[in-house]
Amino acid sequence: MIPEAKSVKLIKIYFYVCQRYDADLKYHCERFSNNNQPELTDQEIMTIYLFAIEEEQRTKVKQTHRFANEYLRDWFPNIGSYAAFNNRINRLSGAFQGLGESLILKFKPADCSSKQSLLDSMLIIVCSGKRSSRVAPELVDKTYCSTKRLWYHGLKLHALGFQRKDTLPFPEQLLVTPASENDLNVFKQAWAGLNDRQFYGDKIYSDKPFFNRLKAQKNSVMFTPVKGIKGQSEWEKQFNKAADDLYSQAVSGVRQPIESFFNWLIEKTDIQRASKVRSTKGLLVHVFGKLAAAFISLIF
């Protein structure tokens, strides 16, 4: 059994999942077999997974199944074995993705700025670079993270967030790419068409010719910390150092909340560590299921 307050949350999650499932999520996991009406429904499995992560921080599927088996039997008597439970969850990556998208669109806070956007990315590690990854080779590749000084196989989660005053930004769009994909290339392909925006990113988004054209065509501006010019003399560096440092600090101060957003996401869901994943479907659930679990609290 679980306390009454948690029971209310469980019920709210279940009703919202059922509502979204009947509206559109069912088309992401429709079955064309004789076993198209299992005793443990897709809605119940999604509810268990989301509740266990959001409320209990059970971030591994095995932990989720153990928790449900011990404390949610009265609610879901047909849980079954861990192997069957894990297999069923792995079929629901599309449904979790659709649920996360609907949560972000429907529960967008009123204080989101439509003019200022924050940019950043976060690595999702499948295994270290010393090993050869056999999981999801069509999605995962190898790259080097200079911040962590680490070679790794994995994915990269890119975020474009609405700036909000004195709180975490709210995601306008989240994209998943192979780990080696350059952040600037992602911006050019996905977000360069946005008009009348002030973007705040780190030094990797530095490309003056491109953003000069963007300003002329879309009236959108990119602000990044000052990046050193190759071949610049020491005298030139020192001459502009005070002004460059002040400008870089100001830009970094504005974009710092997007880093806090990723820290919140990691702390809440442990999304950055995917070393226990053993299949492409499992990796997709790890990413989209945990993103949906992070934002399911918006319905409360």
Angle between helix 82-89 and helix 280-295 axes, rounded to 10 deg: 80
| Helix and strand counts by DSSP (H, E) for the chain | 9, 6
Domain that holds residue 79: 4-89
Residue 243 tokens, joined = 């002004």
Q: Does residue 82 share a domain with residue 180?
A: no
Which residue would you say has higher pLDDT here, 9 or 298?
9
Q: What pLDDT is stored for residue 231 in this prediction? A: 64
In a domain, 291, yes or no: no
pLDDT band of 237, cuts 50, 70, 90 = low
Q: Which of 147, 168, 174 is nearest to 287 (CA)?
A: 174
* Portion of the chain with pLDDT greater than 70, in percent: 94
How high is the pLDDT of residue 150? 86
Q: Are 168 and 234 contained in the same domain?
A: yes
Whether residue 85 is found in the same domain as residue 128 = no
Number of domains in the chain: 2
pLDDT tens digit string along 95-114?
999 999 999 999 999 999 99
Looking at residue 152, which CATH number applies to its domain? Answer: 3.30.420
Mean pLDDT, the chain, rounded, equals 91
Do 257 and 120 fall within a single domain? yes
Separation of alpha carbons 238 and 227, rounded Å = 14
Q: Within a domain: residue 297?
A: no
Q: Are residues 75 and 179 in the same domain?
A: no
Q: Please check whether residues 168 and 260 belong to one and the same domain.
A: yes
Q: pTM, whole model, 2 decimals?
A: 0.91
